[in-house]
Amino acid sequence: MDTGDEIVDVDENTMDPQLCATMACDIYKHLRASEVKKRPSTDFMEKVQKDINTNMRAILVDWLVEVAEEYRLVPDTLYLTVNYVDRYLSGNSMDREKLQLLGVACMMIASKYEEICAPQVEEFCYITDNTYFKEEVLEMETTVLYFLKFEMTAPTAKCFLRRFVRVAQAVTEGPAMQLECMTNYLAELTLPQYHMLRYAPSLIAASATFLARYLLFPSRRPWNSTLLHYTLYKASDLLECVSALHILCRNNLSCSLPAIREKYSQHKYKFVAKIYCPPSIPQEYFQDL
């Protein structure tokens, strides 16, 4: 239930070891401190890349979303893949014919990091219609690993979403699964968008949580003291990012890259991509409590 100014304790269950209740706050403070160290450049297209552009990057990410669905990869694998791609592109000029090779190599690395049973290199070759040989994928994998100095742990928006959605569910009356799917959908919409790199992963996660609560419960204030306490973001801090996310949500119906919309139009994701998105958000919702 939405309790307004009363802060709800979401870490009271200390018996479930998966919740890490006694350490959760410290873990997320550490993630907030470390997220700035593993972020890609926000201007690599302008300063580093000569042969690729933002549209090519968007097409690649849209395709990676489809690959992740095809192989039923966990969401963290997709987010890490995009992080690796962008970090590599931040320091290396890339030929357009090798961009897809970079994408599959990064997804293979992320799969080895996150998946219980990662797809084999042959499967990544197959998914590209055998555009690349096994040796090429392995060589690109090595190149990426050396450039990133084997620093594969990176706080992504999905890391923060897991915590923020749990907090939102604790203060929201309504279907918990629908709220989780909507928040994930909104955050995923940012992945193909180069201009969204300007926002920190934790800010994107908080903004997706804010907008999801607004879309599902438009008559209630999306932000409250509990969400402020756990995300460390005031409502006013979210204005710019929520506004950008709202535009993405509004424009997604006419977007030429349909993978995310089609993914979240399925029953298993509660059809959240089909939920109506109002043309505006009341400005008073961004006033601090």
DSSP H helices in the chain: 24-34, 44-47, 54-70, 75-89, 99-114, 121-127, 134-147, 157-170, 176-189, 201-216, 225-231, 239-251, 259-263
What pLDDT score does 18 carry?
65
What pLDDT score does 26 carry?
85
Q: Are residues 142 and 172 in the same domain?
A: no
Rounded CA gap, 192 and 63, in Å? 10
Q: Are residues 136 and 49 in the same domain?
A: yes
Instruction: Mark which of 147, 170, 202 sits at the end of a domain.
Output: 147
Could you give the number of structural domains in the chain? 2
Q: Which pTM was predicted?
A: 0.94
What pLDDT score does 3 carry?
45
Q: Are residues 117 and 200 in the same domain?
A: no
Q: pLDDT class for 45, splitting at 50, 70, 90?
A: very high
Phi, psi angle pair for 271, to nearest 5°: 55, 30
Q: Are residues 134 and 200 in the same domain?
A: no
Rounded CA gap, 175 and 143, in Å? 45
Dump pLDDT digits (tens) for 112-162: 999 999 999 999 999 999 999 999 999 999 999 999 999 999 999 999 999
Q: Are residues 114 and 194 in the same domain?
A: no
What pLDDT score does 274 carry?
95
Task: Examine residue 21 and state whether it is found in any structural domain, yes or no.
Answer: no
Q: What domain range is 108 assigned to?
A: 39-147
Task: Examine residue 26 and state whether it is found in any structural domain, yes or no.
Answer: no
Residue 111: give its domain's CATH number: 1.10.472.10
Average model confidence (pLDDT) across the chain: 93
Q: Are residues 62 and 166 in the same domain?
A: no
User: Residue 168 corresponds to which tokens in the numbers above?
Assistant: 């939102």
Q: Are residues 161 and 282 in the same domain?
A: yes
Q: Are residues 118 and 218 in the same domain?
A: no
What pLDDT score does 89 carry?
98
Q: Are residues 165 and 136 in the same domain?
A: no
Q: Are residues 233 and 187 in the same domain?
A: yes
Rounded CA gap, 141 and 232, in Å? 37
User: Residue 286 corresponds to which tokens in the numbers above?
Assistant: 């961004």
pLDDT higher than threshold 80 for residue 59: yes
Q: Are residues 120 and 216 in the same domain?
A: no
- List, as one string, the DSSP characters of 86-112: HHHHTTS---GGGHHHHHHHHHHHHHH
